[in-house]
Copies of this chain bind each other. A is one copy, B any other.
Amino acid sequence: MLRPWSWILGFALLRSALAISTGNCVSFDSKSGGFQVASTGSARVLVAPNEWPGVVRAAGDFAKDLSTVTDKTLTVANATSSTASQSKTPIIVGTLGHSDLISAVVNSTKLDVSTISGKWESFIAQQVSNPLPGVDKAYVVIGSDKRGTIYGLYELSEQSGVSPWYWWADVPVQKRSNVYFTGTCAHGEPTVKYRGIFINDEQPAIQSWAQEKFTNGTGAPFNHLFYANVFELLLRLRANYLWPAMWSGMFYVDDVANGALADYYGIVMGTSHQEPMARSTPNEWNLKPRGPWNFTSNAASVTQYWVEGVERVASYETVYTLGMRGEGDLPLEESTNIKNLENVVEAQRKILAQVYNKSDASTIPQMWCLYKEVQSYYEDGMRVPDDVILLWADDNWGNIRRFPLENERNRTGGAGVYYHFDYVGNPRDYKWIQSTQLEKVHQQMTLASDRGANSMWIVNVGDLKPYEMAIEYFIALGRNVDRWRERSPTNDTLQAFVTQWATREFNLPSKSEEIAGLVRNMTRMNARRKHELLNTTTYSLVNYHEAENVVAAWSDMLSRSEAIYKSLPSGTQPAYFQLVHHPIQASSIVQQLYYTVGKNNLFASQARLSTNSLADQAIEIFDSDWELEDQYHKLLNGKWDHFMDQTHLGYYYWQQPMTNTMPAVNRVAGKKQALAGPMRITIEGSLGCVISSFTPFFS
């Protein structure tokens, strides 16, 4: 729906500032001629009394970030035109139409804000002279709307050296003697209007972690203390949309502050494909007796349930999920046909219009997710009103099933994509560590944008960690797909992205290209076959050295990553461990384990005595999987305890195993000589063994 905005500033892919965001807004060099932050040893960040509270909150983050970087003191203060002059060189922050301060600045400086005026989530920031009475100069950050301003602030924070992941992945903040805001810093409308994540499948990892960290052991884990961290992360990533945890969580019930807090921060809340009308379903439905979850037989009760849902959130920024599915990711009963579902949607829109006191629902953001069987209703002719976003889905494995056709691209609601980095369901879960290839994400999401699916992108991120970089890449594409679109041998934007990301996170520019290679290879190699689907014969043990080559490649990656890890300052090691080294180590262990057990099984069939030492090795490797998990959990005094609780070895069916199980190993009779004699000769490329001393014959 929204199209990329024409850029005010050009940008280079390789830049000195620690950021992978808009452009060169920050310099640490006095010769840049920029606006020096806290040049007097302290600085004031001014906001108007009528500013969005969420902008004021973000200005606090911004002040704290810059204080940390510069070791100087930035404070946020309310100001009017007449009180602003307490500082001769303030930073003035505000939202067009929501800030008397910004109105005054624009009025007195004649600053051209036409590029952002009336736009979605855009901002412009630059130095101005004499913006207000008694103020010599100021740096102004002006947003087109609430999130526009917030994104401007976080843009400056990131470029100054505060990673969006400073807390979630312990990326250290680099200290700078001086920070200069340079030139004009700006970003227009995003490619995709709603860009977000779905925290899902949250047991055992994030739920146990949240329970430990935010509840003192009692109460719902996903409370406002938990979500404050999520909301801030999303805004720093310039995302705006969230499907909250719903396996065992109920966003609006678990903590009544959750909904209010999201709106305060500036996060647009949604609910997943099976939770219509802003209620966590089935959990909320089952809180008390309401009869069957059936709109045909139990319409009054279902309607009342939905009315309550909309009334609860009508004052918050919300995209309503329409439609109806069965409980537990299952279709409704067969008798529920398209006509009934159309009745459901019609009823839902009537509820919306009624609660919002509007003649119709067409201006209220709504979405209908065409996930799994729901897509077939659409294909069979079911339609929803034009203003409802149609959210197309991937096949759960990263391949988008269907893009909007030519004649579907003029809908006012537009289209979007529901994508998966994590999945629970048939034929098998994948929910441990990163196994979606970055190139795949690039190819699918740029294609989605090209085909007009730009109203909403949401990705299932499971426990959130450890998908940090993949999440950022997904959101970055959604914010500005054109920036990352071009790929060619001489313009590898994915390599540029990951390299810039590595530079920002680890501040080791000489190694950033190599780290990018490691991360890309890690996702590429894991995507060949996800950990959960590996077994002892996935890679051939006899043909073309396939398994040996795979394991050798992991070994090589591991030793290169290890060398980088050891070269890093201790303050950067935790971030590198979480973001790069752990997934390489963890994947390497799993590959080594299946390879070793595969060899063990094969060698047993070949009556080779080394079968038994391979069995012993397998046990050691299996134990090292736990040791690595334990290392993750003990990191930084247990900050991320439970985040690697996810079982990943020994799937028996689609659902996660209740414990990790070592693939089964054989042992051969160690004290008994093999029938064919003490020496076994195996022909390369053969499952068998040459039998030297006799020929088995007949009966």
Asked whether, in the complex, the Cβ of B657 is within 8 Å of the Cβ of A605, the reply is yes
Mark the stretch among A8-16, A342-350, A419-427 that contacts chain B. A419-427
**Binary contact readout A653-669 vs B (1 if CB under 8 angstroms, 0 otherwise):** 00111111111111111
Q: Given A650-B666, A664-B601, A699-B422, check contact A659 B645 (CB 8 Å).
A: no
Report how far A274 CA is from B663 CA in the complex, Å.
45
A666–B668 touching, CB < 8 Å: no
Decide if A629 is an interface residue (CB 8 Å cutoff): yes
- Closest B residue to A652 by beta carbon equals B605
A689 at interface by CB-CB < 8 Å: yes
Interface residues of A in 658-699 (CB under 8 A from B): 658-669, 671-672, 674-676, 680, 689, 691, 694-699
Show 12 residue pairs from A and B whose CB-CB distance is below 8 angstroms, ordered by the A residue. A203-B694, A248-B697, A607-B661, A623-B671, A625-B669, A626-B672, A629-B672, A656-B675, A656-B696, A658-B689, A659-B672, A664-B665
In the assembled complex, the CB of A31 is this many whole angstroms from the nearest CB of chain B, namely 53
For A658, give its contact among B623, B666, B691, B697 (CB under 8 Å): B691
Question: In the bound complex, what is the Cα–Cα distance between A625 and B647 (angstroms)?
Answer: 35
Interfacial chain B residues near A546, Cβ < 8 Å: none
| Contact residues of A between 587 and 620, Cβ < 8 Å to B | 601, 604-607, 611, 619
Q: A653 — nearest CB in chain B belongs to which residue?
A: B605
Q: Which B-chain residue is minimally distant from A371 (CB atoms)?
A: B699
| B660–A669 touching, CB < 8 Å | yes
Residue on B nearest A203 in the bound complex, by CB: B694
Assembled-state Cα–Cα distance A619/B672 (Å):
15
Per the 8 Å Cβ criterion, residues 177-218 of A in contact with B are 200-201, 203-204
- Is A295 located at the chain interface by the 8 A CB criterion? no
Q: Is the CB of A699 within 8 A of B668?
A: no
With A and B bound together, what is the CA distance between A619 and B649 in angstroms? 22
Q: Is the CB of B663 within 8 A of A659?
A: no
Contact of A604 among B422, B650, B667, B680 (CB under 8 A): B650
User: How many A residues face the partner with a CB closer than 8 A?
Assistant: 64
How many copies of this chain does one complex carry? 2
From A625, A647, A691, residue with most partner B Cβ within 10 Å: A647
Q: Does A460 contact B (CB under 8 A)?
A: yes
Residue of B nearest to A644 (CB): B672
Cross-chain contact of A674 among B659, B689, B697 (Cβ < 8 A): B659
Least Cβ–Cβ distance between A693 and chain B, in angstroms:
9
Whether B607 lies near A667 (C-beta < 8 A) is: no
Task: Assess whether A247 is interfacial by the CB under 8 Å rule.
Answer: yes
Q: Are A204 and B675 in contact (CB under 8 A)?
A: yes
Contact A329 B698 (CB under 8 A): yes
Interface string of A625-654 (1 = CB under 8 A from B): 110011000000000000001010110100
Cα distance, A328 to B605, chains bound together (Å): 23
Taking CB as reference atom, which chain B residue is nearest A609? B659
What CA separation (Å) do A698 and B201 show in the bound complex?
A: 7
Residues of B within 8 A of A622 (CB): 667, 669
Report if A396 contacts B (CB, 8 A).
yes
The reply to whether B659 and A669 form a contact with Cβ atoms under 8 Å apart is yes
Bound form: Cα–Cα A604–B629 in Å: 20
How far in angstroms is the closest Cβ of chain B from A593?
Answer: 11
Report chain B residues within 8 Å CB of A605: 650, 652, 657, 661
A611 to B601, CA, bound (A): 19
Q: Are B658 and A667 in contact (CB under 8 A)?
A: no
Residues of B within 8 A of A662 (CB): 666-668
Output the least CB separation between A400 and chain B (Å): 16
Q: What string of 1s and 0s marks CB contacts (under 8 Å) between A406-436 and chain B? A: 0000000000000010111100010000000
Known: A425-B698, A664-B666, A699-B460. A671 touches B626 (CB 8 A): yes
Pick the most buried of A248, A657, A697: most chain B CB atoms within 10 A of its CB: A697
Q: Please, how many angstroms separate the alpha-carbon atoms of A581 and B656 in the complex?
A: 46
Most chain B CB within a 10 A radius of its CB, from A247, A429, A665, A667: A667
- Residues of B near A201 (CB, < 8 A) are 697-699
Contact indicator B396/A203 (Cβ below 8 Å): no
* Contact digits for A485-525, partner B, Cβ 8 Å, 1 yes 0 no: 00000000000000000000000000000000000000000
Q: Which residues of B contact A674 (CB under 8 A)?
A: 658-659
Cβ contact of A698, chosen from B328, B660, B672, B699, cutoff 8 A: B328
Contacts of A460 in B (CB 8 A): 699
Query: Which chain B positions have C-beta within 8 A of A657?
Result: 605, 607
Question: Which residues on the B side are within 8 Å of A606 (C-beta)?
Answer: 658
Chain B residues lying within 8 Å of A652, measured Cβ to Cβ, are 605
How far is it, in angstroms, between the C-alpha of A429 and the C-alpha of B607 when the chains are bound?
17
B-side contacts of A666, CB under 8 Å: 650, 661-664
* Cβ of A430 to closest chain B Cβ, rounded Å: 9
CB proximity to B under 8 Å, residues A52-106:
none
Taking CB atoms, residues of chain B closer than 8 Å to A626 are: 669, 671-672
Q: Please state if A396 and B699 are interface contacts (CB–CB under 8 Å).
A: yes
The complex places the Cα of A201 from the Cα of B424 at a distance, in Å, of 53
In Å, the complex CA distance between A657 and B698 comes to 15
Cα–Cα, bound, A239→B660 (Å): 60
What B residues does A664 contact at CB under 8 A?
Answer: 601, 664-666
Distance in Å: Cβ of A207 to nearest Cβ of chain B? 8
Instruction: Find out whether the CB atom of A425 lies under 8 angstroms from the CB atom of B699.
Output: yes
Chain B minimum-CB-distance residue to A646: B675
Cα A652 to Cα B622 in complex, Å, equals: 26
Bound-state Cα–Cα, A657 to B604, Å: 9
CA distance A200 to B672 in the complex (A): 23
User: Does the CB pair B667–A619 fall under 8 Å?
Assistant: yes
Known: A649-B669, A650-B668, A662-B666. 10 other contacts (CB 8 A): A203-B675, A247-B694, A607-B658, A623-B671, A629-B672, A645-B675, A647-B675, A656-B696, A658-B691, A664-B664
Q: Measured between C-beta atoms, what is the minimum distance from A208 to chain B in Å?
A: 9
How far, in Å, is A276 (CB) from chain B's closest CB? 15
Could you tell me if B668 and A660 are in contact, using CB atoms closer than 8 angstroms? Answer: yes
Chain B contacts of A680 at CB under 8 A?
Answer: 658
User: In the complex the two chains form, what is the Cα distance from A201 to B605 in whole Å?
Assistant: 21
Within the complex, what minimum Cβ distance (angstroms) separates A343 from chain B? 25
